[in-house]
Amino acid sequence: MNPERARLLRDQERGLHRPHPLAPQAGTRKHREIHFFRLKPEQVTDAMALLSTLPGLEVAPGTEPNGVSVWYEIADYSMEGLETLLIDRGFHLETTLYYKLIRALVYFTEETQRRNLGQPERLLKKSHDVYSKAWEHHPHGDHDDTPPELREYK
């Protein structure tokens, strides 16, 4: 049995779903993986101890030796907030271009989702009515001013 298979079985037993951290995740519950600088492996256990003290945040070893997996509700936490906390406490995150791009993408998507959760739901029927009324009052080629009795039918 390889380590990935063991993690999968462990997570199934605990009821934790471990999708790939970069895969689209519907809903408000997120699974992310925080990667630390490879030359400081002792950071992982210290970070797990720190993050496990936060309420509503589930922490587990990552899929890679220098990573930590976290599960959280988007309304309570964001990856940017968690990583800022870790950096403020002296942890060094992975700084390769790949991880910088991934972080930027995740920060953007989570911020957009948090902003959208705060907006009232749009009523699509109402917006359709607005456009329909505007179309009726707008002069266009589909309108014929000739009275129906004077129109020639063939």
Convert the pLDDT of each residue in 22-38 to its tens digit: 666 777 888 899 999 98
Check the CA dihedral 103-106-108-114 and report its sign: negative
- Confidence (pLDDT) at 55: 93
Q: Can you list the residues of the chain whose pLDDT is less than 50?
A: none
Residue 136 lies in a domain: no
Count: domains in the chain = 1
CATH at residue 45? 3.30.70.100
Backbone torsion region of residue 114, taken as left when φ is above 0, otherwise alpha when ψ lies between -120 and 50, otherwise beta: alpha
Place of tokens 């009324």: 133
Residue 142 lies in a domain: no
- Confidence (pLDDT) at 27: 77
Residue 31 lies in a domain: yes
Q: What would the pLDDT profile of 38-65 be if each residue is shown by its tens digit?
A: 888 788 999 999 999 999 999 998 888 8
Residue 147 lies in a domain: no
- Give how far Cα 95 sits from Cα of 78, 85, 91, Å: 19, 16, 12
Residue 97 lies in a domain: yes
Rounded to two decimals, the pTM is: 0.65
Provide the residue range defining the domain that includes 36.
3-117
